[in-house]
Structure 1
Amino acid sequence: MKKLIATLLLGAAALTSVPASAALRVFACEPEWGALAKTLGGDDVGVYVATSALQDVHQIQPKPSLIAQWRQADLAVCTGAELEIGWLPALAEKGNNPKVAPGAPGYFEASRSVQMLEVPTRLDRSDGDVHPQGNPHIQTDPRNIAKVARALTDKLVEVDAAHADGYRARYDAFAKSWATAVQGWETRAAPLRGVAVVSAHKSWAYLYAWLGIREVAALESKPGIPPSGAHLQEVLDTLKTQPAKMVVYAAYQDRRPVEWMTGRAGIASAQLPFSPGGADGTDELTGLFDVTITRLLDALAGKSS
């Protein structure tokens, strides 16, 4: 009987944890969480990143390659806050992996670890692509990355206790170096405080809150709605009374409205990577913010990117 009970317990453990000799299979919905998982997981994880910085993550198709990776995953790391609402539910249904289904122990939402900004007071389809839980683009503030790293470490330890010491040690090293890096970025970015900008899309609330940048207009009349000529003219008129220093946009976004505005307003543009891989030198998280600060400062000096 004791042997039978031991056998049953071992079988149950095999269903809920990853063998000590195997790498934890992580499915990252966005590049930032893939990069963070690699940093915290080291050789104890194998990471698959479902999207790239050159894609609009709101609009992803659950292709067979994504479905196959979802089926094999031990842990899914996504932004949440309904950023992936257009494709993740279909992927989870087709992938049929109970370990990482939303709400399961193997499913992690980064947005739950931070204070959400721009939470709407009303929900109406006429307002465009509005997220009920707030602006989901939390990765543009490195202080949020630090908060997510702490929570993700706890999740890694939970789902893969055999490598807990390694996860904790890598987190401690990351937290120390990251805090130093954030201080450096804030020092470099001091000239940006109070600077007025135009945004191509409502992508930058957390970046602006961190650096003290002021958004005076957006090229989209409503989030997710391509800018019309009439609205672009309205923004241009606004800039006559509320001058801005630059137009800020993400690497995946259409340059044409940006060029229309910068050409007529006589201001620079700052193409920001938005996620790891959005520009040369941004494959790692530190590079993401190095390049972001550099491009903002370049635009402040009148140099477009």
Structure 2
Amino acid sequence: MRINSKVIQASCLTVALTLSSAAQAALNVFACEPEYAALVHELAPEANIYSATTAMQDPHQVQARPSLIAKMRQADLVVCAGADLEVGWLPMLQMKSANAKVRSTDQGLFFAADHIETLDRLESVDRSMGDVHAKGNPHLHFDPERLLKVAEALHLKLVQLEPDSKTQYDAALADFSARWQAATLKWQALAAPLKGQKVIAYHSSFRYLFNWLGIEQVGDLEPKPGLAPTTAHLAELQHRAQQGDVMAIIVASYQDERGAHWLGERATLPVQVLPMSVGGNEDSDDLFSLYQSVITLLLSYSQP
């Protein structure tokens, strides 16, 4: 029997192209929040990265939309804050997507909070306490040292999923780590005047930022975590503000500003909206510019 050499060549070419395509296929990453989409981009710039939320959305409250289910179905890796921040919607996405690869942290599921010591852990919680997290405050991305530890852990996860790309992942982590540590020293020097300043804020969204910079949150616009400001509670905060030592009222980019402005007008205090994550304002298009933007905005209200 004669074998057509052209057919063989065509078949070999098809197989080669298929194998090449498979080898070059980028990792599909589903990030629960934009700060983790940005972190993945630093560590795996060739990955296909999708962020389920924006800085203008409350990450506690997300609808399990068909588009999110479809993206999770395609994911090789899911990266989230953890500490139960996404407990109201992530399990539903996992169930409906039927993607076994991203159901366990042993495989393609990664929680940032699992790799650092969170602030404000609680031994037990009940409904009377409001919307609190027993595993600690999940908004950890505003602590540069903790975020670097998360980056190191995420690097190991990437290597676990794609061991053949270890060299590239090692190089990306080394580059990010060097730039991040240099930037952290610069930010610490820049933010020195903020140490000891006092603010009133909405929720504990910036708990890690304030802890890092030495800012004291002396009041919360929420009567209890997760509850909207009430007139009675705002009146109490107005009384506290009369001491004259509060720098500003701080609100995150996705939070309702009405209570803050009510208090600001009566207490003669400035209201500052800070980007909660990458994309929260026009000056925060990556993690580096996010930190720079937040510190710059806070410094504009710094008191001597």
> What TM-score do you get using the length of structure 1 for normalisation?
0.90
Residues 197 and 303, structure 2, Cα contact 8 Å, conserved in 1? no
Which one of 11, 26, 44 corresponds to residue 41 of structure 1?
44
Q: CA deviation at 1:221?
A: 0.7
Match of 1:75 among 71, 74, 77: 77
Match of 2:159 among 154, 157, 178: 157
Query: Mind listing any 5+ residue stretches in structure 1 that lack a counterpart?
Result: 1-17
The 5 A counterparts of 1:88-127 are 88-127=90-129
One-letter amino acid matched to 1:33: Y
Alpha carbons 2:61, 2:89 under 8 Å: kept: yes
Instruction: Say whether the 8 Å CA contact 1:25–1:72 is kept in structure 2.
Output: yes
String of CA shifts for 1:233-286, please: whole Å, max 9, x gaps: 011112224731111110111111111111111122221111000011211110
Unpaired runs of 5+ in structure 2? 1-20
1:22 alignment partner in structure 2: 25
In 2, are the aligned partners of 1:219 and 1:227 still within 8 Å (CA)? Answer: yes
How many angstroms apart in 2 are the aligned matches of 1:241 and 1:120? Answer: 31
**Percent of paired sites with the same residue:** 44
CA deviation after TM superposition for structure 1 residue 42, in Å: 1.4
**Paired AA for residue 242 in structure 2:** K
Contact kept, 8 Å, 1:193 with 1:211, in 2: the verdict is yes
Match of 2:131 in 1: 129
Query: Which residue of the partner structure matches residue 268 of structure 1?
Result: 270
Query: CA offset at residue 40 of structure 1?
Result: 0.6
Query: Secondary structure, in 3 states, of the residue corresponding to 2:181?
Result: helix
Q: State the 1:77 CA deviation.
A: 0.5
Q: Paired residue for 1:13?
A: none
Q: Using the alignment, how far apart are the partners of 1:266 and 1:254 within structure 2?
A: 19
Q: 1:213 Cα deviation (Å)?
A: 0.4
Q: Provide the rounded CA distance (Å) in 2 between the counterparts of 1:38 and 1:253.
A: 26
Shift of 1:217: 0.6
1:182 corresponding residue in structure 2? 184
Post-superposition offset of 1:142? 1.8
Match of 2:247 in 1: 245
| Cα drift, residue 20 of structure 1 | 2.7
CA offset digits 1:143-190 (Å, max 9, x no partner): 222111111111000001121111110100110010000011111100
Alpha-carbon RMSD:
1.5
Q: Are the equivalent residues in 2 in contact too, given 1:51–1:57 (CA < 8 A)?
A: yes
State the alpha-carbon separation in 2 of the partners of residues 104 and 150 from structure 1. 16
Whether the 8 Å CA contact 1:199–1:249 is kept in 2: the answer is yes
Looking at structure 2, the residues matched to 62 and 126 of structure 1 have their Cα atoms a distance apart, in angstroms, of 27
Change (3 A) 1:102 1:242: farther
Give yes or no for contact 1:140–1:274 (8 Å, CA) kept in 2.
no
Partner Cα separation in structure 2 for residue 271 and residue 94 of structure 1: 36
Name the SS for the 2:49 alignment partner. strand
Distance, in Å, in 2 between the alignment partners of 1:227 and 1:48 is 33
Matches of 1:132 and 1:223, distance apart in 2: 13
Please tell me whether the aligned partners of residues 268 and 300 of structure 1 are also in contact (alpha carbons under 8 angstroms): no
Q: After superposition, where does 1:206-217 map in structure 2 within 5 Å?
A: 206-217=208-219
Q: Could you say what secondary structure the match of 2:122 adopts?
A: coil
Q: Which moved more, 1:27-36 or 1:113-122?
A: 113-122
Aligned residues: 284
Query: Scaled by the length of structure 2, what TM-score is found?
Result: 0.91
- Report if the CA contact (8 A) 1:246-1:268 is conserved: yes
Structure 1 residue 192 corresponds to structure 2 residue 168: no
Aligned positions of 1:133-144 closer than 5 A:
133-144=135-146
Match of 1:202 among 196, 201, 204: 204
From 249, 258, 261, the equivalent of 1:259 is: 261
Aligned residue for 2:199, secondary structure, equals: strand
Residue matched to 1:11: none
> 2:100 aligns to what SS in structure 1?
coil
**Residue 300 of structure 2: SS of its match in structure 1?**
helix
Shift of 1:26: 0.5
On the 8 A contact 1:282/1:288 being kept in 2, the answer is yes
Distance 2:171 2:76 in 1: 21
1:86 is matched with which residue: 85, 88, 110? 88
In 1, the alpha carbon distance for the partners of 2:175 and 2:183 equals: 12
Does the 8 Å contact 1:79/1:111 carry over to 2? Answer: yes
**Separation (CA, whole Å) in 2 of partners of 1:102 and 1:202:** 28
